[in-house]
Amino acid sequence: MNKPAIIETRNLVKRFRMDGQEVTAVAGVNLTIRAGELLGLMGPSGSGKTTLLNLLGTLDTPTEGAILLEGKDLARLTEPERDALRLRRIGFVFQSFNLIPTLTALENVLLPMEAARMPGPERRKRAHSLLKTVGLKGRLNHLPRQLSAGERQRVGVARSLANRPALILADEPTGNLDSRNTDEIVRLLQEVSQSHDTAVVIVTHNPEVTDHADRILRMRDGLIVEIR
């Protein structure tokens, strides 16, 4: 039986206007991503991958079409409702980690839980346990600059999991990592998708990453042209 759809797009279009020129970054995408699915998103630079991810992550709004997150039409929500949904249901992993440089690993992971008003003792316990899961039990009080690139991205993964998201969006998360750390991050994301039924989208150019994906989408000129 099919697992429930976490996110669904209907004829999704995003156009940008720049210097009087119109660019269609996403040109009519119909996509359903289900619980527990690990999806690889490939395609040349400029094909619309980041734009699509930003739309799925409610960081940007479509020009046309609709997005349903766990059945809710994002266009029908108020901005505060969308913010709350993003905080609680979506985790982000970035190519350049986007950790707060003045906060320790532990504090970076605590941040989204504080924002979601998780009770103090619960969030401390959870932050410790997440950092342990990603193999950083011994690095809780390190600042990002005191961590290697691979360790920083493991903090990034732990942070993305903080509020138990239904969907994780990772835009080239291994773009700044060597192959050993790439394997480790992909293994972690795969584990999350399997053990918590989280839907995970990984944008990548790396064929090693896509070896682990349940499904691979290829984008070209704003359209999904290939599905494995």
Query: Which stretches of the chain are assigned E, i.e. beta strand?
Result: 5-18, 21-34, 38-42, 64-69, 72-73, 90-94, 167-171, 199-203, 215-220, 223-227
Of 29-37, 47-55, 66-74, 209-217: span binding ligand ADP (CB under 6 A): 47-55
Least distance in Å: CB of 23 to ligand ADP? 5
Site map (CB under 6 A) of ligand ADP, residues 27-46, x = contact: ----------------x-xx
Query: Which stretches of 19-127 are assigned E, i.e. beta strand?
Result: 21-34, 38-42, 64-69, 72-73, 90-94
Check binding of 23 to ligand ADP (CB under 6 A).
yes
Check binding of 181 to Mg ion (CB under 5 A).
no
Give the length of the chain. Answer: 228
Which residue type sits at 90? I
* Contact present, 44 and 222 (Cβ < 8 Å): no
Least distance in Å: CB of 188 to ligand ADP? 23
40 binds, among Mg ion, ligand ADP, none (CB under 5 to 8 A by kind): none
> In the range 13-72, which residues lie near Mg ion by CB under 5 A?
49-50
Residue numbers at the binding site for ligand ADP (CB under 6 A)? 16, 18, 23, 25, 43, 45-51
